[in-house]
Amino acid sequence: MLYYLFDYLDKQFDLAGAGVFQFISFRASLAAILSLLLSLFIGKRIINYLKRKQIGETIRTVGPESHFSKKGTPTMGGIIILISIILPTLLVAKVENVYVLVMLLATIWMGAIGFTDDYIKVFLKNKQGLRSKFKIMGQVGLGIIIAATLFFHPDVQQIALQTNLPIGKSLFSYASLAPSPGLAWVIYFAVIIFIVTAVTNAVNLTDGIDGLAAGVSAIVGTGLGILAYMSGNTILADYLNILYVPMSGEVVVFLAALVGACIGFIWYNSFPAQVFMGDTGSLALGGAFAAVAIIIKMELLLPILCGIFFVESLSVIIQVTYFKYTKNKYGEGRRIFKMSPLHHHYELKGIPEPKIVTRFWIVTIFLVIVTIALLKLR
């Protein structure tokens, strides 16, 4: 909205300074500042409201003993993140940009699913929350919408089937996986649905200790922002031999708002947490990351960039698979980890929560650097 206002003032009245809104760097910085301040401003008020309504977290009895003291801590704090992403984006981004619309849709869509899950757990006192099949249906539905939009929209469909490889100078086309050119869209849709489902679940599983998911998300968001800026700049894209994605500069503005929102949320979510983001926040962030990576054609780099998210998810898959295997073979289920996801394993080994979080942040920073460095090795 502010973009259009100052664009009008610049063109009609030649207002001094109004033209600064044409610069992605300025609008991204403004979005980050606005989202940070907004999250800090509304955070305390929303936390107090959640406390008055007794919207507290239910702690699993099988979890680490250190978590029992967290019982009653307000949850559904992801509302803070959602508001702090959406409002600044609407204020300073070009809202007619198809990528902005897709990212906002993905964030709100998955946030709504997470909110429903939290509502069932908190208000209906059902610890299972939203049934898994409905979550999957929501993830698949979002994947179909994103794929259809990018595949059929006239402004972006020419690069829909192409993407960047983690290494190697050549680009990759999903059409090469199809048995015939007419079935290329089937492959593309299947890949997008898988990415949306995998990323949203991975972020959700990472949200288990104070400040972990929000901190890792802020770092990953920064990394994706750098990649988005490179993808939307013809000179940098040509230099790095990556696919140039027209109009993707607005992705940087959205990610700046996301990073600011996450940092502001950490103010209240750092150990000992005053509020948890709940599925409302974790699924929304997962949806945003999936949409962004697909848009800027960096989805194949996600296993590296989002390494923490995927290792956390993988630890659950390994634990469950091994437990079922040993139960069928020996009559008694055995475990590889003390508990999954992985951060709980380290908790049960006696490592303090803040130290686990800090180390996971450090690993994420390292993975972001590796991801960016890979582009230069092409």
pLDDT digits (tens, 9 = 90+) for 330-374: 999 999 999 999 999 999 999 999 999 999 999 999 999 999 999
Instruction: Give the burial class of 369: count Cβ atoms within 10 A of its Cβ; 0-12 exposed, 13-18 middle, 19 or more buried.
Output: exposed
pLDDT digits (tens, 9 = 90+) for 165-199: 998 777 899 999 999 988 999 999 999 999 999 99
Give CA torsion, residues 63, 70, 47, 260, to 10 deg. Answer: -60
Instruction: Give the burial class of 317: count Cβ atoms within 10 A of its Cβ; 0-12 exposed, 13-18 middle, 19 or more buried.
Output: exposed
Res 361: pLDDT = 98
Q: Which of 256, 192, 187 is nearest to 29 (CA)?
A: 256
pLDDT digits (tens, 9 = 90+) for 28-87: 999 999 999 999 999 999 999 999 887 766 666 566 766 666 788 999 999 999 999 999
CA-to-CA dists, residue 312 to 10, 90, 316, 318, angstroms = 49, 33, 7, 10
Res 69: pLDDT = 67
| Mean pLDDT for the chain overall | 93
Res 1: pLDDT = 80
pLDDT level of residue 97 (50, 70, 90 thresholds): very high
| Residue 142 confidence (pLDDT) above 60 | yes
Res 70: pLDDT = 77
pLDDT level of residue 4 (50, 70, 90 thresholds): confident
